[in-house]
Amino acid sequence: MVKVAAVNPMGLGPFSKAAKIEVAHNVPLHYGGGRSSLAESAQYTWLIALLGTMAFMLLLLASVMFYYRRRGHGSKLYLQVPNVV
pLDDT tens track for 12-56: 999 999 999 887 777 776 665 555 566 677 778 888 999 999 999
Residues 41 and 24: beta-carbon distance below 8 Å: no
Range of the domain at 59: 37-73
Is 43 part of a structural domain of the chain? yes
Task: Return the bridge partners of 19, or none.
Answer: 2
Say what the pTM is: 0.41
- Tell me phi and psi for residue 21, to 5 degrees: -110, 125
Contact 1, 19 (CB under 8 A): yes
Domain count for the chain, please give it.
1
Q: Could you tell me if residue 28 is inside a domain?
A: no
Work out the pLDDT band at 74, boundaries 50, 70, 90: low
In a domain, 2, yes or no: no
Query: What confidence category does residue 84 fall into, taking pLDDT thresholds of 50, 70 and 90?
Result: confident
Contact 61, 69 (CB under 8 A): no
Residue 61 lies in a domain: yes
